Amino acid sequence: MNSVTLPGGEKVPALGLGTWRMGERKRARADEVAAVRLAIDLGIRLIDTAEMYGDGGAEEVVAEATEGRREDLFIVSKVLPGNSSRAGTISACERSLARLRTDRIDLYLLHWRGTVPLAETVDAFERLQRDGKIRHWGVSNFDAADMAELWKGAGRACAANQVYYSASRRGVEFDLLPWQRDHDVPTMAYCPLDQGQLASDATLAEIGARHGASAAQVAIAWLLAQSGVIAIPKAVRPEHVRELVGAGRLRLDDADLAQVDRRFPPPKRAQPLAIV
């Protein structure tokens, strides 16, 4: 499986499992836990979650699914902007650690920018690092201007920026991705199937047919072909978990990539971030 190098030199998997919308319904809990366990069984080692997902329920799903296997995994979680003051970030992290039943979070992100000064949140992240409660910190839903502002302060330790990015939502390619590549900040792509729309795209299905793959696998493989990008699709049904893991083995050729460009042209001007 491809890997992406964090600014400090650590390599992490380029394909992970997202958990957005998990932990919201008790009756779905067993299926969600089983999905995360299956993904791990099939080789997934990066799991993305957040305190916001299911009001902490997704972190509890991850805890149950990863029991006894924590040492093999790279776990990402996020603090809500309303909790991102110095004291609030530390308290939120401790609550996430308790729900995740772990002693550290591998990558802790500010979920999106709020009203708390960035320097205050970064100070809290650095304290959490010193205390061994997080290993790396980063941000989510930051555009190019936000990243440039962060960089002017203490942002040079930022390990990643997680944004909405898919073959059909390429606005970040105009200015944000080039900025991040110039500064060696990886991009984590959430909603890589554009909330499921790409799974039924005829062009991607045509490309997939040449490789014995599905349209969804092509959409994920396209992201994995982009430099410095980590894709975190979500799946619960076993067949979808197997499908997303299979995407990590799919290699698109130049003709495939050109066909995607014709279907979904790269942006020609700056665009606002897509956020869900």
Asked whether the beta carbons of 8 and 159 are under 8 A apart, the reply is yes
Q: Examine the residue annotation and report whether 53 is marked as an active-site residue of this protein.
A: yes
Strand 11-13 to 3-5 pairing = antiparallel
- 129: its two tokens: 């690092």
Interhelix angle 238-247/29-41, nearest 10 degrees: 30
Q: Quick check: helix, strand or coil at residue 86?
A: helix
Catalytic residue among 53, 108, 165, 190: 53
Using only C-alpha atoms, the chain has a radius of gyration, in whole angstroms, of: 18
Q: Give CA torsion, residues 177, 105, 130, 83, to 10 deg.
A: 80
CA distance linking residue 218 with residue 100, whole number of Å: 32
Instruction: Give the span between the Cα atoms of 188 and 181, in whole angstroms.
Output: 12
Query: 22 vs 18, 87, 101, 127, 187, CA distance in Å?
Result: 9, 27, 17, 29, 23
Distance CA(68)–CA(80), nearest Å, equals 28
The residues annotated with a catalytic role in the active site are 53
